[in-house]
Structure 1
Amino acid sequence: MVISTVMKQLKHHPALIPLFFFIGGGAAMSMLYLGRLALKNPECSWDRKNNPEPWNNLDPNFQYKMFTVNMDYSKLKKDRPDF
């Protein structure tokens, strides 16, 4: 019912099609980024019983950021103790 009303409005006002396209694309990209943060970020722990501190298992040259400026992760050395 709602989709048919939207389709009727889009037929009468075709200038709204880019608005729906860009808002839908922005919403989809934000949901994909939130999913990436929830699954790939080392600060997010889904299994607290078997792996309560997942950030301790990462190598120092593991790149978990999406974008870094002037950072070469292959030359980093381990500077923290093993627990």
Structure 2
Amino acid sequence: MLRIMRDHARKHPGLIPQFFFICLGMGGAALYLVRLAKGPHVTWNKSSNPEPWNQLSPTYQYKFLAVNTDYKNLKKEGPDF
């Protein structure tokens, strides 16, 4: 695959920035998927902890960026499991 891209870029050097940004976007998407797969609400081993999201504190910030939410003042509304 890389050989084909390299040969094509030699014939058409104007495509080099396009190849760069496509690879940059694919790498960023892969890193974001790895970040999502390691979250505390994701379980990979059902036998040791089948519901890890029940052990999170009520002040845990689930969103990547919370603009208007103050998580320190939230009250826990559900029962303890």
Per-residue deviation, residues 25-73 of structure 1 (Å, max 9, x unmatched): 111111111111111151x211211111101100011113212231111
Structure 1 CA distance for aligned equivalents of residues 46 and 10 of structure 2:
52
Unaligned 5+ segments in structure 1 are none
Unaligned runs of 5+ in 2: none
Tell me which residue corresponds to 2:48.
50
TM-score (norm 1): 0.84
Aligned residues: 81
Separation in 1 of the partners of 2:33 and 2:47?
A: 24
**Distance in 1 separating the partners of 2:69 and 2:40:** 18
Distance verdict in 2 for CA 1:17–1:67, change over 3 Å:
same
Aligned equivalents of 1:19, 1:41: Cα separation in 2: 36
1:72 aligns with 2:33: no
Percent identity over the alignment?
47
